């Protein structure tokens, strides 16, 4: 599934690049489509179509390279590629300022549209960075008298009486598509599809075992937990076993 999503994004970016650069699709460029005919002529003559097309090809290449590097075993490949994706977009927006028509050609409306676009891009970038940072923070596991409290993003309280089984598995099961969560290098947090388990809630900070697996009497989604240090995973397993024995 991840392969199809990546392929769709790469083909979409490459298709937009071809349309804008070679097929006269400059009207799809934000700022160009709201400009006056005189401003559009100026930007077109300055080569805004080729500029945007080349950057879109570059962005498609970055996403494809990140996916392939992760498949080759570099666990941070996709995350680095998406970080570069954001940086390249910011650079592209800054460099695109050279296509702005001179003041003698601009209208108050076009200037206002450009400012709104820049501010919106900055706000969205900061918001996304904040959400990712919050989700990536280490999870806390607190063993209470009657329940395991898992804090932070995608946290949950697990009553000991609801647990059907707790086991420590040496190998990490194959994790499929993310349905609602964070996938950043070895950090998997949230809701994912897991091989032979179906939907599961993950709190993983290592791409390797061991992994603590909790299943429930009411057939709720299993919970999988591990730490970057295997000893911490084993310790939590022993503590949880002691509480539920």
Tell me which DSSP letter residue 64 carries. Answer: H
pTM for the predicted model, two decimal places? 0.65
Q: What is the mean pLDDT of residues 223-229?
A: 95
Tens digits of per-residue pLDDT, 9-57? 999 999 999 999 999 899 888 778 778 888 889 999 999 999 999 999 9
Q: Which residues contact 61 (CB under 8 A, 6 or more apart)?
A: none
Looking at residue 13, its pLDDT comes to 94
pLDDT at residue 31 in the model = 76
pLDDT at 113 over 70: no
Asked if 197 contacts 211 with a C-beta cutoff of 8 angstroms, the reply is: no
Alpha helical stretches, state H, 150-200? none
- Token pair of 44 as six digits: 């077109």
What pLDDT does 190 receive?
A: 93
Q: How far apart are CA 206 and CA 234, in angstroms?
A: 13
Q: How far apart are CA 82 and CA 65, in angstroms?
A: 10
Residue 171 scores a pLDDT above 80:
yes
Q: Please check the confidence at residue 1 and state whether its pLDDT lies above 60.
A: no
Looking at residue 130, its pLDDT comes to 73
User: Which band of pLDDT confidence, cut at 50, 70 and 90, is reported for residue 127?
Assistant: confident
Quote the mean pLDDT of the chain. 87
129 membership: H or E segment, kind and range = helix 108-136
Q: Tell me: pLDDT of 228 over 80.
A: yes
Mean predicted confidence (pLDDT) in 172-193: 90
* pLDDT tens digits for range 85-108: 988 988 998 898 888 888 666 667
What region, left, alpha or beta, does residue 175 occupy, with left being phi > 0 and alpha being psi -120 to 50 degrees? beta
Strands (E), 44-174: 141-143, 147-150, 156-159, 163-169
């Amino acid at each position: 599934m991840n392969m199809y999503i990546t392929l769709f994004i790469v083909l979409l970016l490459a298709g937009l690049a071809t349309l804008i650069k070679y097929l006269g699709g400059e009207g799809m460029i934000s700022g160009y489509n709201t400009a006056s005919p005189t401003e559009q002529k100026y930007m077109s003559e300055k080569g805004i179509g080729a500029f945007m097309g080349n950057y879109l090809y570059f962005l498609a290449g970055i996403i494809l390279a990140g996916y392939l590097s992760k498949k080759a075993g570099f666990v941070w490949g996709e995350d680095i590629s998406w970080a570069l994706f954001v940086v390249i977009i910011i650079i592209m927006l800054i460099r695109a300022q050279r296509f702005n028509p001179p003041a003698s050609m601009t209208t108050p409306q076009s200037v206002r549209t450009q400012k709104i676009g820049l501010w919106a891009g900055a706000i969205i970038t900061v918001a996304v960075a904040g959400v990712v940072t919050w989700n990536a923070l280490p999870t806390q596991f607190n063993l209470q008298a009657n329940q395991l409290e898992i804090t932070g993003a995608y946290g949950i309280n697990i009553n000991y009486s609801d647990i059907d089984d707790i086991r420590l598995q040496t190998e990490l099961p194959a994790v499929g598509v993310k349905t609602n969560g964070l996938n950043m290098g070895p950090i998997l947090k949230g809701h994912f599809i897991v091989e032979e388990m179906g939907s599961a809630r993950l709190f993983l900070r290592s791409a390797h075992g061991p992994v603590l697996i909790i299943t429930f009497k009411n057939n709720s989604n299993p919970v999988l937990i591990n730490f970057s240090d295997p000893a911490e995973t084993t310790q939590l397993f022993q503590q949880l076993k002691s509480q539920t024995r």
